[in-house]
Structure 1
Amino acid sequence: MSRWSVRIESVVLDDFKNVKHGEINLENKKSAYRASVLGLYGQNGSGKTALIDSIGILKLALSGSRIPAKYADYINVGADYASLKFQFLVKKGEAQYHAWYEFRIRRDLRQEDYSPQNIENSLDPMSKFRVTLYDECLRFQYCDEKVKIRMASLIDTKTEEVFLPKSRYIELVGTDKKTSTDIYVAYKLAEESSRSFIFSRQLINTVRKNCSNVIYTDLINSLLTFGTRELFVINTDTSGLISLNALPIAFKYKYDDEPKETFGQLAIPLNESVLVPMELVDVVRELMSNMNIVLEQIIPGLSIKVYELDTELSKDSKPGKRLQLMSERNGKEIPLKYESEGIKKIVSILQLLIVVYNSESITLAVDELDAGFFEYLLGELLKVISEKGKGQLIFTSHNLRPLETIDKGFIAFTTVNPENRYIRFVNVKGNNNLRDFYYRDITLGEQTEPVYDPTNNYEIMLALKEAGKTYDT
């Protein structure tokens, strides 16, 4: 039986971080590859991380999770709100949607008493602000062998009512007064708790109970599943854990003989053993065993072993087992914490790269994918995934080696213009080396927007000399 698959087709950002306006299509329109890969390149501070962060907020919204207060600072300076819009391709067999989900975020003062006690119990103890997600809208087109639906709004909260169109409201929620009251309360609670209303538990459960139109329910359920189980975001916060001797392992795993899938993220301390719940011990063991199949090919002689130590009870009296990760290289074992940052980075994301290669329904967004990777290995690994993989990979990088190894349609660039942050290069011929082409454009500026804010070596030299006057001897 075929499953629903979801892919992000495009992203539009307005007043988000340093992006006044930016829109980017993630699909390779030049070549018919099964995988969807987008590598974003550009100058420091030009909007690369903003793209990954926007997908991180998307994951929180689709999964009905709370958006942390830190994202209030992601609204562009001088703007009242940021707007984010995502287009998806959702399909199963002959059934296919093009769906658009958009929303705004703004920064609001918290309503509760900002007392020392509340600060201590708060999920964001250092912030007096919260993020409000509002003006949500979900639109779609649909077609299968028998039915075609043109562009239509399914849920639009840009109204004084809970949402429009009224006809859709009745189809999704019904006409029962108590249910309508409960939905209104859920709408207000979602706003106060920094969550999406469209993907709130209350609305989802109500739609599942009352709506008989499977076209509508399938769309909502597929996007919810995508955000909860199939969209993974690895940002600089995750990478920072490695420097703090914690290995974040994001995973999605399925046993061959069982239909159930296991997914999530573990942060395993590297400088000590960790108590893992019994139900996850086998998952960690299988993940490492599965990962070693690939790890031994990309770093010859290296494998990761899981040492199982004592069985203990956790603080909530549930049984668990202490585990420690060891690195084995050419028959010699050392604790994984003594390996390089690059090795630990590879281990932390390798399981997800395996799933992206094998599963059409997975999207992985990684900021600074090249951090710790040997450039030749990075280029070859991305070449394999882009040409033979099935899923979606979105990454930022400073390493230019992939520009020489993967199809040019998989690459986009940031510009120095905050009003038009993302572009695809034009006039690139098939025999052009995109890396050389990029360097040439930095110098000559042949694209519609400049991709590099020029620096002057003489001015840099003078600045270094001026700043170093106190060190003269």
Structure 2
Amino acid sequence: MKDLMSGQPVANSYAECVAVDKDHAELEFVFDLQYPDGIIREASYSFCMSSVNLTDEELRERYKNFPEEFDLPDDEKRAIIFNEKFSLLWEGASKRQVIIDTSSKKAPFTPDTKRKEIAGGGSKTLVALEVNKQLAKNSAKSFIFMKETLDLFEEKDNKSVFFRVLAELRFFARFYLYVIDTKSSGLIRLNLALPIYTRQGVITLDSRRSMTYSLETFEELSDDLSSISSVLSQLVPGLSIGLRKMSETVAKDGSPAIVTMLMAYRDGKELPLREESDGVRKIISVLSLIIAAFNEESVTVAIDEFDAGIFEYLLGEILQAMEESGKGQFIFTSHNLRPLEVIDKKFLYFTTANPANRYIRLKKIAATNNLRDTYFREIVLNEQDEIIYKRTKRFKIVAALVQAGGRRNGQEAETEDSFILS
């Protein structure tokens, strides 16, 4: 969603998100837009996504820098975005209305009345919209939010409520919505790099060796890390971080540069940040965005597997602070059950074993119930509308382990006999 609404192409990796037994996936997102003058609007954006194999030409372009003897893969896919729909409930309307629907084969989008109101009805405009629609399909972009389409809408009427809401949603996706997947966690666990997520973008720091930055970049990084460190010292008492200035040098363009090392300071002792735990480095990586979500109503931060590597008690402290005093929206997934003990049940969704209804809220939960205990009870009793966990049987696990161990021992014996005979 962030890529599409920002006018950017969807990464090819998302093509693998379509279920193997389905032709496409359909996603819908609803937004509440609240304005200083009290006006509230509700917008909805939905789209379908399918995948198609890359052509030979696309494969050659992607792997053009690989050795000639490299065999091109024949199963790589790219995403295709289609059937986009934008709906809006605005002041004066009694219900949410479809403003743009791109599913029509006969027109760039329908309804015709809204198209003429937003973009105009001239033949030149229709041709331009059709060209944009084809470009969006070929590049895995959103036809609705691509810059070329919004430019056409702006030329027609930049004061239209429809155009303004589209522009506001695009602005939100670019500057107020932040999504962090598990790729960064892999880099952190392997200690290969430390990505620092900020409002301006991602800064990837090498946590293993010294780095060279221009004087301007060094000062900006120092400011960012200082802000992060001020909160970090409260989350992990006695710990702060910063860039150690090791020496001065000259960059390739002749400008002054600084050789630095990413350091941690704990109880008066200095050590390379790479020596800190995965959990601490994970918090440092995302803390700037958590600060933004805590302080700004319009900021939304979504982190996959936020709990990975983080000390359970500290995880609870962060979540409680966000729930009690945070202004923005913080969305995360977690395997850890600590959130069940510290977050109000109205904020919690649980995965189910039903692909057709993957997320639910638990029902019939009293205010005095221990949600963690209740969750385990539901696994056993299955009293919810959906099965939240397919129960395992311990004796079957034990039998499988014994059987696998016996098979492995037999294979090792055969290998040993073979070695002796040879």
- State the distance in 1 between where 2:170 and 2:177 align: 10
- State the distance in 1 between where 2:360 and 2:196 align: 32
Alpha-carbon displacement from aligned partner over 1:234-281 (angstroms, at most 9, x marks no partner): 1111211213421111112xxxxxxxxxx2111111112334465543
**Structure 1 residue 109: deviation in Å?**
2.9
**Greater Rg over alpha carbons, structure:** 2
Question: Given the alignment, which residue of 119, 131, 135 partners 2:83?
Answer: 135
Alpha-carbon displacement from aligned partner over 1:404-423 (angstroms, at most 9, x marks no partner): 11211111111111121111
Aligned to 2:251: 313
- State the distance in 2 between where 1:321 and 1:175 align: 58
* Equivalences for residues 160-239 of structure 1 within 5 A: 160=105, 161-239=107-185
Aligned to 2:97: 152
Aligned to 1:55: none
Given residue 29 of structure 2, which amino acid in structure 1 is its aligned partner? F
Q: TM-score, normalised by structure 2?
A: 0.89
Alpha-carbon displacement from aligned partner over 1:384-412 (angstroms, at most 9, x marks no partner): 11111101011111111221112111111
- 1:446 aligned to 2:383? yes
Most deviating of 425-434 and 400-409: 400-409
Q: TM-score, normalised by structure 1?
A: 0.80
**Structure 1 residue 83: deviation in Å?**
0.6
**Structure 1 residue 320: deviation in Å?**
5.7
| Native 8 Å contact 2:158 2:164 kept in 1 | no
Structure 1 segments, 4+ long, off by >6 Å, are 316-319
- 1:366 aligned to 2:303? yes
Q: 1:225–1:386: structure 2 CA closer, same or farther, 3 Å change rule?
A: same
Q: Which runs of 5+ in 1 are unaligned?
A: 1-57, 253-262
- State the distance in 1 between where 2:171 and 2:216 align: 22
Given residue 156 of structure 1, which amino acid in structure 2 is its aligned partner? D
| Native 8 Å contact 1:275 1:312 kept in 2 | no
**Structure 1 residue 294: deviation in Å?**
1.1
Given residue 249 of structure 1, which amino acid in structure 2 is its aligned partner? I
Given residue 134 of structure 1, which amino acid in structure 2 is its aligned partner? F
- The structure with the greater share of residues assigned to strand is 1
- State the distance in 2 between where 1:335 and 1:174 align: 61
SS in 1 for 2:349: strand
- 1:251 aligned to 2:198? yes
Question: Given the alignment, which residue of 29, 33, 48 partners 1:104?
Answer: 48
SS in 2 for 1:60: helix
Question: Given the alignment, which residue of 265, 268, 289 partners 2:226?
Answer: 289
Q: 1:365–1:442: structure 2 CA closer, same or farther, 3 Å change rule?
A: same
Aligned to 1:59: 2
Aligned to 1:13: none
**Structure 1 residue 282: deviation in Å?**
3.2
SS in 2 for 1:438: helix
Question: Given the alignment, which residue of 320, 327, 334 partners 1:397?
Answer: 334
- State the distance in 1 between where 2:10 and 2:405 align: 43
| Native 8 Å contact 1:137 1:156 kept in 2 | yes
Aligned to 1:269: 206
Aligned to 1:329: 266
Given residue 147 of structure 2, which amino acid in structure 1 is its aligned partner? R
**Structure 1 residue 132: deviation in Å?**
0.5
Given residue 195 of structure 2, which amino acid in structure 1 is its aligned partner? P
Alpha-carbon displacement from aligned partner over 1:8-27 (angstroms, at most 9, x marks no partner): xxxxxxxxxxxxxxxxxxxx
Q: Which runs of 5+ in 2 are unaligned?
A: 67-71, 414-422
Kindly tell me the number of residue pairs found equivalent between the two proteins. 400
SS in 1 for 2:44: strand
- State the distance in 2 between where 1:103 and 1:432 align: 39
Aligned to 1:240: 186
**Structure 1 residue 171: deviation in Å?**
2.4
| Native 8 Å contact 2:118 2:160 kept in 1 | no
SS in 1 for 2:144: coil
- State the distance in 2 between where 1:378 and 1:366 align: 13
- State the distance in 1 between where 2:80 and 2:256 align: 39
Q: Percent identity?
A: 37
- State the distance in 2 between where 1:176 and 1:275 align: 56
CA RMSD of aligned residues (A): 2.2
